[in-house]
Amino acid sequence: MSGTRFVHLVDTTLRDGSHAISHQYTAEQIAAIAAGLDEAGVEYIEVSHGDGLAGSSINYGWSAISEEEMLTAAAGAIKNGILTVLLLPGIGTQEDLEMAIHCGARAVRVATHVTEADIAEQHIGMARKMGLQAFGFLMMSHMAPPEKVVEQAKLFESYGADVVYVADSAGAMLPEEVKARVGAVVDAVRVPVGFHAHNNLTLATANSLAALEAGASYLDGTCRGLGAGAGNCQIEALVGVLEKTGFQTGVDFYKIMDVAEDLVEPVMHRPQVVRNAPFMLGYAGVYGSFLLHAYRAAEKFSLDPRDILVELGKRGMVGGQEDMIIDVAYQLAQKRGGA
C-alpha closest to that of 8 among 196, 214, 172, 188: 196
Of 77, 128, 71, residue with least CA distance to 96: 71
Q: At residue 276, what is the residue type?
A: N
Q: How far is the CB of 1 from a second copy (least distance, A)?
A: 8
Q: Residue 49 catalytic?
A: no
Quote the least distance from Cβ 199 to a second copy, whole Å: 8
Contact 302, 329 (CB under 8 A): no
Binding mask 126-165 for a second copy (x = CB under 8 A): ----------------------------------------
**Which residue in 132, 183, 185 sits closest to 160, CA to CA?**
132
Q: Residue 306 interacts with a second copy (CB under 8 A)?
A: yes
What's the full length of the chain, in residues? 339
C-alpha 73/C-alpha 103 separation (Å) is 9
| 37: amino acid identity, one letter | L
Position among 59, 244, 269, 302 found at the interface with a second copy (CB under 8 A):
244
- Residues annotated within a binding site: 15-16, 169, 196, 198, 287
Residues 164-203 as x/- pattern, contact with a second copy by CB under 8 A: ----------xx-------------------------xxx
Torsion of CA 125, 194, 233, 86, to 10 degrees: 0
Interface pick for a second copy out of 261, 289, 334, 336 (rule CB under 8 A): 261
Q: Pick from 86, 170, 274, 308: which binds a second copy (CB under 8 A)?
A: 274
Catalytic residue among 19, 123, 142, 293: 19
Rounded to the nearest angstrom, the gap between the alpha carbon of residue 334 and the centroid of all alpha carbons in its chain is 37
Active site residues: 19
Provide the binding-site residues for a second copy, judged by CB under 8 A: 174-175, 201-206, 209, 224, 234, 236-238, 240-241, 244-245, 254, 257-258, 260-261, 265, 271-276, 279, 283, 304, 306
